[in-house]
């Protein structure tokens, strides 16, 4: 792969969502750079992930912990398991910075999660900052801004 | 008279020395009585004064089910009043916080009130001439709560005009707030960002009890903390590798029973108490460069060591908050219904201390107490299973007997084995006291 095309970037974002919906979490872990972060701010237009609370700010260790936990025998909040479902709007390609190898997409999406008789929906915007590692696209930062990030939620157990 | 309303002895009979009746968690009438009596007789946390730093700033919340607002008045003091126009009942503010300028103005008919609640003006006032309005309660402005206390920045209020005094109610338990504030080289805290907001389909008391339940972490949190420990070991890092901050935060949840037994529990009168008398899950965090030196400069070495040597785990302030002094966190368990509780988790900056401390606190908050937290998920699962399970008619009583000693006196401060359920019994002792304090005695 030389440089990704717009379609490559868009396909990547769709494929990531499909992996989550299919429960292919080990494959999903491989989509990230070693120093990548999965960030879900708590506040509308939050800029700082460190000195105020976020819903998520997960490095490689914490992403792996989440995936390993989902496999556990004593993961009580996942007995029975949750399922989730993404509907993505076509991602906008916001940046194609070939000089610095940085590619940025913006994706409005709806996310549905279900377990037992409960089901809830979240609306969100996802920003993917993608880089090339050994000619493969990897996620350096995925930022998910929930439309109602300041609302009171019950458990959100999978990955938006 | 219902089963419990107007029936003081029925309410008292819900609490036994080592058992509590399930109706304290699931009965709507008991919940209504809690709102009417328990949350009106006790000192309930409203907010932190750094949430309203400037004149005209306000913050809206609830005491029990009562909508209230706290505001910074022109004299610099914080006032707490009912969020309800004395005219037609409209809530004066509907957003959670903001600045109202010099006065509140009701959006319905433009009655206006000073930021201490006093009536300022009514449009077309001549319409009230000779009607005796000045004698009515409407003319008094926004109704104040019964009493307000600003304790080192923490604002508490009692809804009832009569009741226990602030010092009488909290007594020595205030030492936990003192320790949290003393950890700032400047002796001051500031709220850091909005709180996490986590909805629980369970009774509020389950959350309060869980704060000093030291026999659940290694069981309910095996899936998160246990997996974290295994994952870290599987990475086979060279010996002496510094653990990441997330591991420091989450791994101690898997400590063995002995660790929790030895940490100790202290109970104070009126339902307050804390885990972590001798050590806690917060004891072994890495030192943050420069912080100790700042504390020595501010307090002297001996006092600095004394402050930082205190590592209390969870301090429950009855009825419905918990604070963590060593990491400057406060959680409030807001009762919405017998089976519905909103949990808000706040963090505070130690003014003058290194940012790294706040960074660790923010990490703790999101890793442990967020609706997206792998630790919180299992806690909520337990509470909601209990809320459903309590409807079983197989048994009617919940057991709180661990390390019970016959004749134990909750009006005495005590330090005991860290796995005792004495603090839960202490809470129910206080529950009975403040539930029935303003109930009529049976005829």
Q: How confident is the model at residue B441 (pLDDT cuts 50, 70, 90)?
A: confident
Q: Coil, strand or helix: which one is B170?
A: helix
In-domain check, residue B164? no
Query: Is residue B365 domain-shared with residue B419, that is, in the same domain?
Result: yes
Nearest chain B CA: its distance from A1 CA (Å) = 31
Nearest chain A CA: its distance from B12 CA (Å) = 33
Residue ranges making up the domain that contains B104:
44-151
Closest alpha carbon within chain B to A64? B231
Query: Is residue B140 domain-shared with residue B224, that is, in the same domain?
Result: no
Average confidence score pLDDT of chain B: 96
Q: What is the mean pLDDT of residues B205-221?
A: 96
Q: Coil, strand or helix: which one is B327?
A: helix
Handedness of CA B218, B219, B225, B230 (dihedral sign): positive
Query: Is residue B85 domain-shared with residue B145, that is, in the same domain?
Result: yes
In-domain check, residue B29? no
CA pair distance B274, B267, nearest whole angstrom: 6
As given in the structure block, the two tokens for residue B334 are: 């807001």
- CATH number for position B76: 2.102.10.10
Query: Is residue B229 domain-shared with residue B313, that is, in the same domain?
Result: yes
For B63-104, how does the pLDDT look when each residue is reduced to its tens digit (9 = 90+)? 999 999 999 999 999 999 999 999 999 999 999 999 999 999
Give the per-residue pLDDT at A2.
Answer: 78
Among B151, B169, B199, the domain-final residue is: B151
CA pair distance B375, B170, nearest whole angstrom: 30
Q: Coil, strand or helix: which one is B392?
A: coil
In-domain check, residue B283? yes
As given in the structure block, the two tokens for residue B274 are: 């804390």
- CATH number for position B423: 3.90.380.10
A6-146 maps to which CATH number? 3.10.450.50
Q: Contact at 8 Å (CB) between B147 and B157?
A: yes
CA pair distance B141, B359, nearest whole angstrom: 43
Q: Coil, strand or helix: which one is B223?
A: helix
Closest alpha carbon within chain A to B370? A55
Does the pLDDT of residue B17 top 80, yes or no? yes
Query: What's the farthest any 2 CA atoms get from each other in chain A?
Result: 50
In-domain check, residue B2? no
Query: In which residue are the tokens 């001798």 written?
Result: B278
Other CB atoms within a 10 A radius of the CB of residue B123 amount to 9
Other CB atoms within a 10 A radius of the CB of residue B141 amount to 20
Query: Is residue B141 domain-shared with residue B189, that is, in the same domain?
Result: no
Nearest chain B CA: its distance from A67 CA (Å) = 10
Give the per-residue pLDDT at B240.
Answer: 85
Query: Apex CA B360: angle with CA B354 and CA B364, to 5°?
Result: 150
CB-hemisphere CA count at 13 Å for A31?
Answer: 24
Among B151, B173, B202, the domain-final residue is: B151
Query: Is residue B219 domain-shared with residue B126, that is, in the same domain?
Result: no
End-to-end CA, chain A: 28
Q: How confident is the model at residue B330 (pLDDT cuts 50, 70, 90)?
A: very high
Identify from A35, A37, A39, A51 which residue to disrupt to test chain B contact, counting B C-beta atoms within 10 A and taking the largest count.
A51
Q: Contact at 8 Å (CB) between B419 and B402?
A: yes
In-domain check, residue B312? yes
Q: What is the mean pLDDT of residues B128-154?
A: 96
CA pair distance B83, B90, nearest whole angstrom: 8
Give the per-residue pLDDT at A1.
Answer: 53
Q: Give the H or E element holding residue B25.
A: helix B23-26
In-domain check, residue B156? no
The C-alpha R_g of chain A, in whole angstroms, comes to: 16
Q: DSSP characters for chain A?
A: --S--HHHHHHHHHHHHHHHHHT-HHHHHTTEEEEEEEEEESSTT---SSSS-EEEEE-HHHHHHHHHHHH-TT-GGGSSPPEEEEEEPPPEEEEEETTTTEEEEEEEEEEEEEETTEEEEEEEEEEEEEEEETTEEEEEEEEEEETTTTS-B----S--
Helices (H), B171-244: 174-182, 204-210, 217-220, 227-234
Give the per-residue pLDDT at B442.
Answer: 62
CB-based contact (8 Å) between B357 and chain A?
no
* Contact criterion met (CB < 8 Å) for A76 and B223: yes
Q: Of A152, A87, A121, A130, give the one whose Cα is nearest residue B344.
A: A152
Query: Is residue B423 domain-shared with residue B319, that is, in the same domain?
Result: yes
Provide ipTM, 2 decimals. 0.96
In-domain check, residue B169? no
Query: Is residue B137 domain-shared with residue B192, that is, in the same domain?
Result: no
Query: Is residue B317 domain-shared with residue B211, that is, in the same domain?
Result: yes
Task: Choose the closest CB to A65 out of B195, B227, B380.
Answer: B227
* Contact criterion met (CB < 8 Å) for A51 and B192: yes
- Give chain B's domain count: 2
As given in the structure block, the two tokens for residue B287 are: 């030192």
For A93-130, how does the pLDDT look when each residue is reduced to its tens digit (9 = 90+)? 999 999 999 999 999 999 999 999 999 999 999 999 99
- B77-90 in b/e burial notation, b at 16+ Cβ within 10 A? ebbbbbbbbbeeee
- A89-115 in b/e burial notation, b at 16+ Cβ within 10 A? eebebeeeeeeeeebbbbbebebebeb
Query: Is residue B324 domain-shared with residue B194, that is, in the same domain?
Result: yes
Query: In which residue are the tokens 């949190």 written?
Result: B221
Does the pLDDT of residue B252 top 60, yes or no? yes
Q: Contact at 8 Å (CB) between B292 and B285?
A: no
Q: How confident is the model at residue B1 (pLDDT cuts 50, 70, 90)?
A: low
**B110 contact partners, CB below 8 Å, separation of at least 6:** B122, B123
Which residues in chain A show pLDDT less than 50?
Answer: none
CA pair distance B432, B97, nearest whole angstrom: 34
* Contact criterion met (CB < 8 Å) for A76 and B197: no
CB-based contact (8 Å) between B396 and chain A?
no
Q: Give the H or E element holding residue B58.
A: strand B57-63
Domain assignments of chain A as residue spans, ordered by start: 6-146
Query: A115: which strand partners?
Result: A118
Residues of A near B (CB-CB distance < 8 A)? 40, 42-43, 46, 50-57, 59, 61-62, 64-66, 68-69, 72, 74-78, 150-157
Give the per-residue pLDDT at B261.
Answer: 96
Give the per-residue pLDDT at B132.
Answer: 95
Helices (H), B256-373: 257-263, 291-299, 301-309, 355-369
Give the per-residue pLDDT at B409.
Answer: 97
């Amino acid at each position: 792969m030389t440089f990704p095309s717009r379609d490559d970037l868009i396909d990547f974002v769709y494929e990531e969502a499909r992996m989550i919906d299919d429960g292919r979490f080990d494959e999903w872990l491989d989509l990230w750079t070693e120093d990548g972060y999965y960030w879900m701010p708590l506040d509308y237009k939050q800029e700082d992930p460190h000195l105020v609370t976020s819903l998520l700010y997960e490095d490689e260790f914490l992403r792996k912990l989440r995936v390993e936990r989902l496999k556990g025998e004593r993961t009580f909040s996942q007995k029975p398991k949750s399922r989730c479902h993404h509907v993505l709007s076509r991602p906008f390609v916001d940046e194609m910075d070939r000089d610095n190898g940085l590619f940025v997409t913006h994706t409005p999406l709806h996310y549905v999660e279900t377990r037992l008789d409960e089901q809830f929906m979240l609306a969100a915007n996802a920003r993917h900052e993608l880089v090339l590692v050994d000619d493969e696209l990897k996620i350096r930062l995925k930022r998910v801004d929930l439309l109602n990030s300041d609302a009171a939620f019950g458990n959100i157990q999978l990955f938006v | 008279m219902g089963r419990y309303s107007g029936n003081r002895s029925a309410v008292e009979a819900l609490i036994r020395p080592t058992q509590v009746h399930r109706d304290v968690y699931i009965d709507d009438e008991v919940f209504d009585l809690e709102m009417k009596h328990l949350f009106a007789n006790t000192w309930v946390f409203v907010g932190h004064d750094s949430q309203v730093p400037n004149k005209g700033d306000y913050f809206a919340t609830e005491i029990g089910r009562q909508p209230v607002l706290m505001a910074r008045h022109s004299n610099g003091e914080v006032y707490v009043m009912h969020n309800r126009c004395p005219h037609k009942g409209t809530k004066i503010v509907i957003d959670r916080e903001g600045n109202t300028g010099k006065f509140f103005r009701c959006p319905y008919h433009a009655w206006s009130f000073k930021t201490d609640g006093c009536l300022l003006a009514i449009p077309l006032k001549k319409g009230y001439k000779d009607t005796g309005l000045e004698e009515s309660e409407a003319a008094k402005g926004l109704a104040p709560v019964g009493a307000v206390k600003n304790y080192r920045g923490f604002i508490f209020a009692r809804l009832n005009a009569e009741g226990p005094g602030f010092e009488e109610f909290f007594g020595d338990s205030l030492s936990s707030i003192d320790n949290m504030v003393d950890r700032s080289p400047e002796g001051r805290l500031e709220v850091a960002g909005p709180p996490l907001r986590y909805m629980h389909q369970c009774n509020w008391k389950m959350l309060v009890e869980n704060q000093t339940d030291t026999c659940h972490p290694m069981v309910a949190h095996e899936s998160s903390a246990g997996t974290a420990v295994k994952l870290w070991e599987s990475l086979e890092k060279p010996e002496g590798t510094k653990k990441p901050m997330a591991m420091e935060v989450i791994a101690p949840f898997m400590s063995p029973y002995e660790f929790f037994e030895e940490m100790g529990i202290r109970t104070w009168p009126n339902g307050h108490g804390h885990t972590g008398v001798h050590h806690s899950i917060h004891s072994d965090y890495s030192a943050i460069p420069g912080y100790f030196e700042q504390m020595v400069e501010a307090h002297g070495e001996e006092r600095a060591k004394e402050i930082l040597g205190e590592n209390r785990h969870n301090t429950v302030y009855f009825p419905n908050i918990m604070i963590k002094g060593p990491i400057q966190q406060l959680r409030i368990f807001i009762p919405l219904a017998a089976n519905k509780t909103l949990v808000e988790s706040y963090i505070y900056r130690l003014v003058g201390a290194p940012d790294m401390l706040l960074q660790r606190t923010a990490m703790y908050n999101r890793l442990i107490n967020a609706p997206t937290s792998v630790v919180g998920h299992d806690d909520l699962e337990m509470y909601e299973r209990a809320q459903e399970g309590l409807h079983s008619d197989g048994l009617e009583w919940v057991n709180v007997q661990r390390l019970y000693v016959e004749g134990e006196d909750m009006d005495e401060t005590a330090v005991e084995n860290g796995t005792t359920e004495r603090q839960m019994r202490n809470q129910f002792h206080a529950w009975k006291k403040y539930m029935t304090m303003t109930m009529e005695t049976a005829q």
